[in-house]
Amino acid sequence: MQNYDCGNSEATTDSVTVSVSAKYLSNRSDPLRRRFLFSYIVAIANNGPQPVQLLTRRWLIRNGFGRLQVVEGVGVVGETPLIPPGGVHTYESFCPLDTDFGSMSGSYGMSTDDGRQFDAEIGTFSLYAPTAIQ
């Protein structure tokens, strides 16, 4: 069994670009039990002149029936990274769905060195198993 590319997005807010690449994990999914597991890699690039810190996350996760789940919290995978000018912070995480397709989007709460806060957009990307497009 293999993993399948299933969705990408890129969005820029102020000087922060958030890029996401998602995969369907066939070897860790169980379609008979309605468990579909997806991984996604996020790269957060600081294209601005001063450091930015990621403080919070807000994910909007929709399954194939349109049911919305909101996931909010501090940081990402236990970190609140400080990203220097020209720097990139990358991490990987996972999302289980009870349908073979859906989507994710959201935002990161960011703060600049001078205390300005803003929400960096996470553009919508698709999550789908190969069975969803047959």
State pLDDT tens for residues 74-91: 999 999 999 999 999 999
Fold of the CATH domain 3-133 = Immunoglobulin-like (2.60.40)
Structure confidence by residue, pLDDT tens digits, 92-125: 999 999 999 999 999 999 999 999 999 999 999 9
Structure confidence by residue, pLDDT tens digits, 19-62: 999 999 999 999 999 999 999 999 999 999 999 999 999 999 99
pLDDT band at 71 (very low <50, low <70, confident <90, very high): very high
pLDDT band at 131 (very low <50, low <70, confident <90, very high): confident
Domain extents in the chain: 3-133
Q: Give pLDDT, residue 63.
A: 97
Going by C-alpha positions, the residue among 115, 60, 53 that lies closest to residue 89 is: 53
Q: Is the pLDDT of residue 2 over 90?
A: no
pLDDT band at 132 (very low <50, low <70, confident <90, very high): confident
